[in-house]
Structure 1
Amino acid sequence: MGDFSSLGLSDWLINQCKQLGINKPTPVQENCMPPILEGRDCMGCAKTGSGKTAAFVLPVLQKLSEEPYGIFCLVLTPTRSLAYQIAEQFRVLGKPLGLRDCIISIAMNKPFFWESKSETRTVEELDQRYILTPETVKDAYLVHLIQKFTDEHDDWSIIIFTNTCKNCQVLTMMLREFNFPTISLHSMMKQKQRFANLAKFKASVYKILIATDVAARGLDIPTVQVVINQNTPGLPKIYIHRVGRTARAGRNGVSITLVTQYDIHLVHAIEEQTQTKLKEYPVQEKEVLKILTQVNVTRRECEIKLESTDFDEKKEINKRKQLILEGKDPELEAKRKAELEKIRNQKKKFKQRIQEDIERGPKSAREIPHTPLHHHHQPEPLIQGRMDPCFHVVDPKF
């Protein structure tokens, strides 16, 4: 692997990289930057945290510095958060140019989505661990882990991922009760508040960020040393994006996933996708049991506090706003949802009744009434022309 000067970058850009601690190009930068500088079309695929953003930001700044005029570059991103992240990279690396940028948010109601079937991996610098814990003890393990990391490394930054906005808010409140410098990031927050919280975390005002998967992609915070999955992700690609927030650009990092007895199959799917065997993280269970009662009581108190606010009401309001933006009637959608739930319940009861009949065993011939079924008899469809033949039964009472 060479250096940036061998790739054709100007001295001022190389100095900017050195000031940011970027001394050598990563493989994606080394292979993509020369053809970009030559003006060729380029498509680069690499692991998360491998320096893909700088691979095109540096050549763009190089060309812009040669003839700085007008609108020079358009960057399209799949998410607003990623757009702000890339804009920040342009500002930092292009500071000597007095660069100006503009972020425009354009949302599509029904975007087309395509994903490559190519294999996805985690980086080698990432130490991937798990802790097997009962569901009821999970929060105590989480508090113990945070206490351990903050005691041993008070300058480390930690991101904790969880599955819902409500759980994110409760965990934030709970950890603050234990005097941990904690801040949250989830979709129930206004965009302005999200950026403010993210800026505080980047500036190390708060060392712990609790987030939903809204923060799992695009965030490039080099100082994050630990990622903790408070819940096991349901899909391997979500796991890859979560743990990709640490061990970025050649740095080392640790990820720890709290696994319950119901999540074993999810861990196996993650290991198969990443082709990496997760190692068990050693924990002193006696230390966890000492704080178990206190943690559970504190969490319940925080849940009660949150229930006394309008958090759930805000969630429903946000859902209605999203439906209106999509051109849908919230009332009609609610009725449709209720009808679907009713149909699901009917199917569930019907399957249960069939299962009970099967478990009771076949009846004798004398117990089964004779019901002639003519050849021209055609059973009517159950729902909109669709019928499941496995569950169509002729009831002799009708």
Structure 2
Amino acid sequence: MTTFADLGLSPKLLKALEKTALKTPTPIQAQAIPHIMQGADLMGLAQTGTGKTAAFGLPLLHRLLDIGHPPGPKHVRALILAPTRELITQIKDNLETFTKGTAVKVTMVVGGASLFKQAQALSRGTDVLVATPGRLIDLLERGDVSLEKCGYLVLDEADHMLDMGFIHSLRKIARHIPLKRQTLLFSATMPKDIEEIAATYLRNPVRVQVNPPGKPAEKVTQGVHFIPNGDKAKLLEDYLKKHPGEQALVFGRTKHGSEKLAKLLASWGFRVGSIHGNKSQNQRDRTLTEFRAGELDVLVATDVAARGIDIPTVRHVYNYDMPNVPENYVHRIGRTARAGAEGASISFCAPAEMVELQAIEKLLKKPLPVVGGAPWAADVVAAAPRPGQNRGQNRGQRPGNSGRQGQKLTAKPQGQRPGSGGQGRPQGQGKSGGQRPAKPQGGSFAPRRDAR
């Protein structure tokens, strides 16, 4: 069996590892670390939860420990780019665990935090900078940081950075980094654009692939439950009550819908929090800290969090809304069954989401087991408006809906406007006198296809 000592890591890093849960290298770590320590560019392909942070972090820190003197003011020796604030925080925390007792300094910069304080932290220079692309560009344009002596570039979750439109930011940042550098790219999936990025920024890279791209963790039990949109909240309540005391992640499509769902679950007595793009960095950090500490049982999130949560105690993932991008399904369910543990994932599929389900099954190359309901008939799917259509109507009414809209699905019914449909008014029955139909107050959670 391979050990971290067999990989030739510094004794200081081995001592730090003794105080962590990492006892033996995972496959991605065992294969990637030797190549990185030899200075090769590397493209690592592995699903979430396989230990990619240590795979690039440990050999990177090993090489930095040999330098022996601090970086100059505003200078950065190694740059790690990742797409979300949650993932940046996770990487920084892991690296700081590995560097305890050493002189290596790790700094993170993300949007939503004080630009002035981040500039101050960088004024003295740093060994490792972990950053989101947008905030790093802000600091570069202000002259608060220099990458001219940066010898290492790591692109973590590169496919997700592409999904979020960071390719142009990457091009801007790369212009500030010397061509003579070591570049490492890690991704869970392998779309064509990743191949192009690798060809552009990596030189003769070693390719390390642990599992086929898009393959979910083997210990995740998966299933799909066919359910009308308006009945999803009650179904989620039933599932959560079946597993009291076990932590669950619930994924929604939009910021507004996820926040609304979290408030609803809280009104039903669940210990629940939410993280999405409308939350400040402090709010998101506080919620994740509470979830890690077991103070919350349920966390409702958009895909902004799908790759930034590493909490081994998560046992259940519920796809309340099916993801627009099939690869995001793999990342969502990868939040459970971490580090060899077991977990379960249930996807709620309304008629309008059959296209998303079919795309996921095509990616997985197999159908998801049906755990409830029955696949929607073609005529029902055809009649169901896609998310974003009929926004002025009660778009949650689907064939077979039990009429829960406007009853239990509004967390604060006392805030409803007169004539809002809060008492279960039939779909399309608005006010009299030719006025517009009343806007539903929380009936369907059928979100728009807008930004997260």
TM range (shorter): 0.5 to 0.7
Cα distance, 1:141 vs structure 2: 0.6
Of the three residues 97, 100, 115, the one matched with 2:193 is: 115
- Helix, strand or coil at the partner of 1:221: coil
Distance, in Å, in 1 between the alignment partners of 2:413 and 2:3 is 53
Cα distance, 1:12 vs structure 2: 4.7
Matching residue of 2:129: none
Root mean square deviation of aligned Cα = 2.9
Query: Could you say if the C-alpha distance between residues 19 and 226 of structure 1 is closer, same or farther in structure 2, counting changes exceeding 3 Å?
Result: farther
- Helix, strand or coil at the partner of 1:19: coil
Corresponding position: 1:134 with 2:228: yes
Residue pairs, 1:233-312, within 5 angstroms: 233-281=323-371, 297-302=407-412, 305=415
Distance, in Å, in 1 between the alignment partners of 2:193 and 2:411 is 43
Cα distance, 1:52 vs structure 2: 1.0
User: What is the percentage of aligned positions where both structures have the same residue?
Assistant: 31
Q: Is the 8 A contact 1:33 1:55 kept in 2?
A: yes
Q: Is the 8 A contact 2:230 2:405 kept in 1?
A: no
Corresponding position: 1:8 with 2:8: yes
Q: Is the 8 A contact 1:127 1:255 kept in 2?
A: yes
Structure 1: stretches of 5+ with no match in the other structure: 284-291, 309-398
Distance, in Å, in 1 between the alignment partners of 2:167 and 2:287 is 31
Cα distance, 1:99 vs structure 2: 4.5
Q: Is the 8 A contact 1:139 1:295 kept in 2?
A: no
Matching residue of 1:88: 93
Cα distance, 1:18 vs structure 2: 4.5
Of the three residues 218, 242, 253, the one matched with 1:124 is: 218
Q: Which amino acid aligns with 2:266?
A: R
- Helix, strand or coil at the partner of 1:249: helix
Matching residue of 1:144: 238
Distance, in Å, in 2 between the alignment partners of 1:22 and 1:212 is 29
Query: Could you say if the C-alpha distance between residues 32 and 304 of structure 1 is closer, same or farther in structure 2, counting changes exceeding 3 Å?
Result: farther
Query: Could you say if the C-alpha distance between residues 127 and 18 of structure 1 is closer, same or farther in structure 2, counting changes exceeding 3 Å?
Result: farther
Corresponding position: 1:36 with 2:36: yes
- Helix, strand or coil at the partner of 2:359: helix
Corresponding position: 1:196 with 2:286: yes
Q: Is the 8 A contact 2:230 2:403 kept in 1?
A: no
Corresponding position: 1:101 with 2:106: yes
Corresponding position: 1:173 with 2:283: no
TM-score by length of 2: 0.59
Residue pairs, 1:202-217, within 5 angstroms: 202-217=292-307
Cα distance, 1:67 vs structure 2: 4.3
Corresponding position: 1:226 with 2:304: no
Q: When you count strand as a share of all residues, which structure comes out higher?
A: 2
TM-score by length of 1: 0.67
Distance, in Å, in 1 between the alignment partners of 2:41 and 2:292 is 34
User: Could you list the per-position Cα deviations for residues 272-312 of structure 1 after superposition, in whole angstroms to 9, with x for gaps in the alignment?
Assistant: 102243123369xxxxxxxx89996332243764989xxxx
Q: Which amino acid aligns with 1:115?
A: D
Question: Whose Rg is larger?
Answer: 1
Structure 2: stretches of 5+ with no match in the other structure: 72-76, 111-132, 139-164, 169-191, 196-211, 374-401, 419-452
Query: Could you say if the C-alpha distance between residues 11 and 303 of structure 1 is closer, same or farther in structure 2, counting changes exceeding 3 Å?
Result: farther
Matching residue of 1:386: none
Q: Is the 8 A contact 1:139 1:296 kept in 2?
A: no
Q: Is the 8 A contact 1:216 1:242 kept in 2?
A: yes
Of the three residues 246, 269, 277, the one matched with 1:187 is: 277
Cα distance, 1:228 vs structure 2: 0.7
Question: Alignment length, in residue pairs?
Answer: 296
Cα distance, 1:149 vs structure 2: 1.2
Matching residue of 2:24: 24
Residue pairs, 1:302-341, within 5 angstroms: 302=412, 305=415
Distance, in Å, in 1 between the alignment partners of 2:416 and 2:67 is 55
Residue pairs, 1:41-52, within 5 angstroms: 41-52=41-52
Distance, in Å, in 1 between the alignment partners of 2:63 and 2:28 is 19
User: Could you list the per-position Cα deviations for residues 35-54 of structure 1 after superposition, in whole angstroms to 9, with x for gaps in the alignment?
Assistant: 11222222212112211111
- Helix, strand or coil at the partner of 1:262: helix
Distance, in Å, in 1 between the alignment partners of 2:53 and 2:298 is 25
Distance, in Å, in 2 between the alignment partners of 1:141 and 1:31 is 43
Moved more, 14-23 or 203-212: 14-23
